[in-house]
């Protein structure tokens, strides 16, 4: 396929100031008439043809200034391109294009499609060209007016972007609505929804007094399950005013939940379209994780109204301009709504679990890539999560006030623009006077930097010296790297964890509690340190890097007990446990038993029983690093069975060491009163559910989990119990009964049943593959639906370490076949699933060879989508 390069960027030859779209909706034959006001850009030679993008389009009619093209004025239309020559000499003309599309057979879920009889669109990144021929690129902004006509019974609801302008009834049982969006926007933000849906309404009044009608549309009967999303929406609107000074700018804001959706949600101007997973919640059907996800995604899409829509991206290489920044904003929102340190630790865990492996493998790419073959494959953890970390570092480097001034300048200077990363960096340089050119390497250099840290205390001079050396391994296309500007937030801890304040700092630049590492190797020297300190490094996870330090076991225990920064405190504990888990994995692989010191067991007990600590924080500490965390720490020669053995040995030892007191704590955390989704209640439940696993392991029987499953009055506790049953007692009678009871109760609700699919797909060991195969035949399962597919196939391939990475390679073989089947329907989904194999080279030789074979099988198929071809070829390269 074609490779696109950032350096090839050129503005369009033509502008389209106004776009009128007229949709005559029909399930199989929707007719789209597009009327475009086109102007040749000043400076474009008169003989340059107009070339519009298309994708699988069928042209019905074309007119220029009301007449069919004739003579010199000719056109050439293919399904993916429309070229027009001999344009009017004035360079200004009206182009009318009529196309016909089939929403029913569109299983790619981009462009216009039907989901449960609802017409909906998904245009980011390049879906608009599947509706009509257009300059489908983010720097082409146009003002849209949209008329939708449909059968009144089939689609009583007709929505598009902007404000409603007109509506009425027509003959033949049809009706229409007209929407006008006054804000110029790129085609990827266009949306249309039509169907028969239920709704909840609310209102919001902005800081300057604009009255906004809010609507959330869901399947009839599910309206009460949208109330939490509405609450989150209003809180998001208020927060963006308070924290970023950003107000909403239309009279309506609508959210529609659909059940077939490739992404989490989409920020179309004034009409967000959501995967129903991120809208629907009530205590009976949603877990605490679901509630937090809804709050975050509602906020994320709403925040895009300024960071993405009012200021959009010049080209798709700049995707992180809107995504990294908007993730940063939604992270801050959630931190303000919940517990900031707990939220931050969850972010760090997520980054390490998803982004670090991406950066360490064959799919590594910069936050702002400079080339791609398929843009859909760049909606990645690197662009989103690392992109957010880069914005967070700007704030750490400049401080909160200059950061806010920079953001204000960004909104003031670039409102209405299609901007670049250079524009973004410039506003912070202008606001602060700092030179951020070295910092900007974070956008260009792929890979996770490592910081090797050594230090020394001189009691005679009361001086503490830290030396930091940064290194960054080669990544695809980037054999050598330059030193980066890395902010290392730190503290120096004296006895009992007292913070020692240096009198002065010499050597590398230190501002407040941040060391600014800018050379490959730099020394920082602190005077006036009266006792030998233990350094707490990378507080708040101030940069997305890995650390190798001289911290001893006892230093780590000290930090885990005393560090005033919860993130480094959790990090110290995790580092201790990882050291044990990795060494035991090697022992188990070598046929030796795992060994566990009492000190780790004692430390975990101290944290578990410390009432001064937030329950959510205690739960995070007590959750032993996952099998994939351990695999990542090991890095090479991975044997998932040995890792599982090592992990279970630690869990057993901790469980047996504390069984009695864990049981007391578990009972004491039982709550009375109705379910509340707030952070404190969720934290209590998460601690209790971690304890449930330990207690079940200690007791060696499913009784407690079965009892919790039976008596749970909310989905969090129910699904946690089901997880313990399947993980620890798969195949037992208690487990089978619980699975059956769950299916009986929720078998009519596919979204809830996804949890049932996930739990079973995660059963450890060789049993899992047969389970997954069997469940594919379940009446609710369908490879046409992304949520179902991700629940079963996605969880199995990316979450089930032992079940998927079977030593006989059957997991990979099954997966390759399934990915190929999905690719014929939904290439984006297939390509995304396939990234589960990106770390194949880190396995031990037998599994590695099986994985290579499975990937090679995919690569040799002819007729692969460009999405899957891109992933498989980069993965094998
Ligand atoms: N809808 C996706 C998101 O908001 C892509 N823009 O991240
Ligand atoms: Zn986004």
Q: Which residues, given as ranges, of the chain have pLDDT below 50?
A: none
Neighbours of 587 (CB within 10 A): 17
User: According to the 3-state scheme, what is the secondary structure of 278-297?
Assistant: HCCCCCCCCCHHHHHHHHHH
The answer to whether residue 481 is domain-embedded is yes
State the ligand closest to the CA atom of 316: 1
The answer to whether residue 630 is domain-embedded is yes
Residue 616 DSSP SS3: helix
| Residue 781 near residue 757 (C-beta atoms within 8 A) | yes
Same domain, 585 and 639: yes
- Residue 178, ligand 1, Cβ within 6 A: no
Same domain, 752 and 652: no
Q: What angle do CA 560, 331, 190 make, to 5 degrees?
A: 160
Same domain, 24 and 165: yes
Same domain, 406 and 554: no
CATH of the domain at 129: 2.60.40.1730
| Residue 523 near residue 516 (C-beta atoms within 8 A) | no
Concatenating the DSSP letter of every residue in 409-431 gives HHHHHHTT-EE-HHHHHHHHHHH
Same domain, 789 and 866: yes
| Residue 13 near residue 41 (C-beta atoms within 8 A) | yes
Q: Which of 264, 277, 279, 293 to mutate to test the pocket of ligand 1 (most atoms within 8 A of CB)?
A: 264
Q: Which helix (H) or strand (E) holds 159?
A: strand 157-160
In sign, the C-alpha dihedral spanning 604, 605, 609, 612 is negative
Residue with CA closest to ligand 1 atom 2: 266
Q: What angle do CA 86, 87, 90 make, to 5 degrees?
A: 135
Residue 531 DSSP SS3: coil
| Residue 124 near residue 188 (C-beta atoms within 8 A) | yes
- Residue 22, ligand 1, Cβ within 6 A: no
Nearest to 595 by CA among 582, 584, 579, 585: 584
How many whole angstroms separate alpha carbon 482 and alpha carbon 179?
Answer: 51
**Residue 1: per-residue pLDDT:** 76
How many whole angstroms separate alpha carbon 344 and alpha carbon 567?
Answer: 7
| Residue 545 near residue 469 (C-beta atoms within 8 A) | no
Same domain, 84 and 50: yes
Same domain, 785 and 848: yes
* Nearest atom (ligand 1) to Cα of 323: 7
Record the tokens describing residue 523, joined without a space.
């020394």
- Residue 315, ligand 1, Cβ within 6 A: no
The answer to whether residue 834 is domain-embedded is yes
Close Cβ partners of 552 (under 8 Å, ≥ 6 residues apart): none
- Residue 191, ligand 1, Cβ within 6 A: no
Record the tokens describing residue 100, joined without a space.
């016909």
How many whole angstroms separate alpha carbon 806 and alpha carbon 640?
Answer: 8
**Residue 131: per-residue pLDDT:** 99
Distances (CA, A) of 241 to 202, 230, 246, 271, 372: 18, 17, 5, 20, 36
The torsion angles phi and psi of 436, rounded to 5 degrees, stand at -105, 20
Query: Peptide bond before 125: cis, by omega within 30 degrees of 0?
Result: yes
Same domain, 519 and 564: no
Distances (CA, A) of 787 to 272, 750, 781, 782, 831: 18, 9, 10, 9, 15
Residue with CA closest to ligand 1 atom 7: 323
The answer to whether residue 295 is domain-embedded is no
**Residue 671: per-residue pLDDT:** 84
Q: Which helix (H) or strand (E) holds 115?
A: strand 111-115
Range of 506's domain? 452-541
Q: Point out which residues pair with 39 in neighbouring strands.
A: 15, 92
Ligand 1 centroid – CA 125 distance (Å): 9
Record the tokens describing residue 418, joined without a space.
């299609």
The answer to whether residue 383 is domain-embedded is yes
- Residue 295, ligand 1, Cβ within 6 A: no
CATH of the domain at 787: 1.25.50.10
- Residue 323, ligand 1, Cβ within 6 A: yes
Which residue's structure tokens are 């350096």? Answer: 7
Residue 574 DSSP SS3: helix
Same domain, 472 and 427: no
Ligand 1 centroid – CA 264 distance (Å): 7
Same domain, 526 and 557: no
pTM of this prediction? 0.99
Quick one: DSSP state of residue 700?
A: T
Mark which of 685, 700, 715 sits at the end of a domain. 700
**Residue 672: per-residue pLDDT:** 81
Through-space distance between the first and last CA atoms of the chain, rounded to whole angstroms: 16
The answer to whether residue 347 is domain-embedded is yes
CATH of the domain at 427: 1.10.390.10
Q: Point out which residues pair with 202 in neighbouring strands.
A: 214
| Residue 793 near residue 772 (C-beta atoms within 8 A) | yes
Candidate list 96, 126, 219, 301, residue with the active-site label: 301
Per-residue b or e along 427-446, where b marks 16 or more CB atoms closer than 10 Å to that residue's CB: bbbebbebebeebbbbbbbb
Mark which of 399, 423, 444 sits at the end of a domain. 444
Neighbours of 674 (CB within 10 A): 8
Concatenating the DSSP letter of every residue in 352-420 gives IIIIHHHHHSTT---SS-SEES-GGGG-SHIIIIIHHHHHHHHHHHH-HHHHHHHHHHHHHHHTT-EE-
Record the tokens describing residue 652, joined without a space.
């057993």
Q: Which helix (H) or strand (E) holds 717?
A: helix 715-729
528's torsion region: left (phi>0), alpha (psi -120 to 50) or beta? left
Ligand 2 centroid – CA 43 distance (Å): 35
CATH of the domain at 522: 2.60.40.1840
Burial of residue 35 (number of CB atoms within 10 Å: 0-12, 13-18, 19+): middle
- Residue 297, ligand 1, Cβ within 6 A: no
Quick one: DSSP state of residue 539?
A: G
Beta strands in 447-545 (DSSP E): 450-458, 463-471, 486-493, 504-507, 509-511, 514-517, 521-527, 534-537
851 alpha-carbon distance from chain centroid: 26
Query: Catalytic residue at 301?
Result: yes
- Residue 301, ligand 1, Cβ within 6 A: yes
Give the CA dihedral 849, 625, 737, 814, nearest 10 degrees: -20
Residue with CA closest to ligand 1 atom 1: 266
Mark which of 390, 409, 444 sits at the end of a domain. 444
Angle between helices 340-350 and 566-589 in degrees, nearest 10: 30
The answer to whether residue 244 is domain-embedded is no
How many whole angstroms separate alpha carbon 192 and alpha carbon 23?
Answer: 9
Same domain, 60 and 179: yes
- Residue 385, ligand 1, Cβ within 6 A: no
Q: How many domains does the chain have?
A: 5
Residue with CA closest to ligand 1 atom 3: 266
**Residue 482: per-residue pLDDT:** 98
How many whole angstroms separate alpha carbon 150 and alpha carbon 102?
Answer: 14
ipTM of the predicted structure? 0.98
* Nearest atom (ligand 1) to Cα of 300: 4
Same domain, 363 and 468: no
Q: Which of 110, 236, 265 to mutate to test the pocket of ligand 1 (most atoms within 8 A of CB)?
A: 265
The answer to whether residue 289 is domain-embedded is no
Distances (CA, A) of 481 to 390, 441, 519, 520, 544: 17, 9, 12, 10, 16
């Amino acid at each position: 396929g074609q490779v696109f390069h950032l350096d090839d960027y050129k503005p369009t030859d033509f502008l389209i100031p106004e776009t009128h779209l007229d949709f005559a909706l029909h399930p199989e034959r929707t007719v789209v008439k597009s009327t475009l006001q086109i102007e040749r850009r000043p400076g474009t030679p008169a003989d340059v043809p107009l070339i519009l993008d298309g994708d699988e389009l069928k042209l019905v009619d074309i007119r220029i200034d009301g007449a069919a093209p004739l003579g010199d004025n000719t056109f050439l239309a293919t399904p993916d391109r429309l070229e027009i020559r001999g344009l009017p000499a004035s360079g200004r003309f009206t182009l009318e294009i009529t196309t016909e599309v089939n929403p029913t057979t569109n299983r790619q879920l981009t462009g216009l499609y039907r989901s449960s009889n609802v017409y909906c669109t998904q245009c980011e990144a390049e879906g608009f060209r599947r509706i009509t021929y257009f300059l489908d690129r983010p720097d082409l902004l146009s003002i849209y007016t949209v008329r939708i006509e449909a059968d009144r019974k089939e689609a009583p609801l007709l929505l598009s972007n902007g404000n409603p302008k007109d509506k009425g009834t027509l003959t033949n049982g049809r009706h229409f609505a007209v929407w006008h969006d006054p804000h110029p926007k790129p085609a990827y933000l266009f949306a249309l929804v039509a169907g028969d849906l239920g709704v909840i309404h609310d209102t919001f009044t902005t800081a300057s007094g604009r009255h906004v009608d809010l609507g959330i549309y869901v399947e009839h009967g599910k309206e009460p399950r949208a109330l939490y999303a509405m609450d989150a929406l209003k809180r998001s609107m208020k927060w963006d005013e308070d924290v970023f000074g950003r107000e909403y700018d239309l009279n309506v804001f609508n959210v529609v939940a659909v059940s077939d959706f490739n992404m989490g949600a989409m920020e179309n101007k004034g009409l967000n379209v959501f995967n129903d997973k991120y809208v629907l919640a009530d205590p009976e059907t949603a877990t605490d994780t679901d509630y937090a996800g809804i709050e975050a995604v509602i906020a994320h899409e709403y925040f895009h109204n300024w960071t993405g829509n009012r200021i959009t991206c010049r080209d798709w290489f700049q995707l992180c301009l809107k995504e990294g920044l908007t993730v940063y904003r939604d992270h801050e929102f959630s931190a303000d709504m919940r517990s900031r340190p707990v939220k931050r630790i969850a972010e760090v865990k997520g980054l390490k679990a998803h982004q670090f492996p991406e950066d360490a493998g064959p799919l590594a790419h910069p936050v702002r890539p400079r080339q791609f073959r398929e843009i859909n494959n760049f909606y990645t953890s690197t662009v989103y999560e690392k992109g957010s970390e880069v914005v967070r570092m700007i704030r750490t480097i400049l401080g909160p006030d200059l950061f806010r001034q920079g953001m204000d300048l960004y909104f003031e200077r670039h409102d209405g623009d299609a901007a670049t990363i250079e524009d973004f960096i410039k506003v912070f340089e202008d606001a602060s006077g700092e030179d951020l050119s070295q910092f900007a390497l974070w956008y260009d250099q792929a890979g996770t930097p490592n910081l090797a840290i050594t230090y020394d205390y001189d009691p005679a001079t009361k001086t503490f010296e830290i030396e930091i050396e940064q290194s960054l391994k080669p990544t695809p296309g980037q054999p050598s790297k330059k030193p980066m500007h890395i902010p290392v937030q730190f503290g120096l801890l004296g006895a009992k964890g007292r913070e020692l304040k240096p009198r002065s700092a010499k050597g590398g630049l230190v501002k407040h509690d941040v060391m600014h590492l800018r050379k490959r190797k730099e020394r920082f020297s602190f005077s006036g340190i009266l006792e030998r300190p233990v350094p707490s490094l990378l507080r708040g996870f101030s940069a997305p890097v890995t650390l190798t330090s001289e911290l001893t076991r006892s230093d780590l225990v000290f930090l885990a007990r005393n560090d005033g920064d919860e993130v480094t405190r959790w990090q110290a504990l995790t580092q201790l446990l990882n050291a044990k888990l990795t060494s035991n994995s090697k022992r188990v692989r070598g046929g030796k038993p795992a060994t566990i010191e009492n000190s780790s067991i004692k430390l975990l007990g101290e944290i578990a029983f410390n009432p001064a600590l937030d329950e959510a924080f205690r739960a995070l500490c007590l959750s032993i690093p996952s099998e994939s965390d351990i695999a990542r720490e090991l890095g090479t020669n991975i044997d998932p069975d040995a890792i599982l053995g090592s992990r279970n040995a630690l869990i057993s030892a901790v469980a047996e060491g504390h069984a009695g007191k864990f049981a007391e704590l578990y009972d004491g955390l039982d709550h009375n009163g109705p379910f509340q989704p707030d952070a404190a209640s969720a934290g209590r439940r998460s601690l209790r559910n971690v304890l449930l696993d330990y207690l079940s392991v200690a007791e060696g029987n499913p009784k407690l989990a079965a009892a919790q499953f039976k008596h749970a009055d909310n989905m969090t506790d129910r699904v946690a119990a089901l997880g313990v049953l399947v993980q620890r007692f798969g195949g037992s009678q208690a487990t089978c009964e619980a699975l059956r009871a769950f299916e009986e109760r929720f078998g009519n609700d596919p979204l809830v049943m996804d949890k049932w699919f996930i739990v079973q797909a995660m059963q450890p060991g060789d049993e899992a593959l047969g389970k997954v195969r069997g469940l594919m035949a379940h009446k609710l399962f369908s490879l046409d639906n992304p949520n179902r597919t991700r629940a079963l196939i996605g969880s199995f391939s990316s979450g089930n370490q032992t079940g998927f990475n079977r030593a006989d390679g059957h997991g990979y073989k099954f997966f390759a076949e399934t990915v190929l089947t999905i690719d014929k329907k939904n290439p984006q989904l297939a390509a995304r699933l396939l990234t589960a194999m990106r770390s194949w080279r880190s396995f031990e030789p037998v599994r590695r060879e099986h994985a290579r074979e499975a990937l090679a099988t995919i690569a040799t198929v002819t007729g692969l989508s460009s999405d899957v071809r891109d992933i498989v070829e980069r993965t094998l390269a």
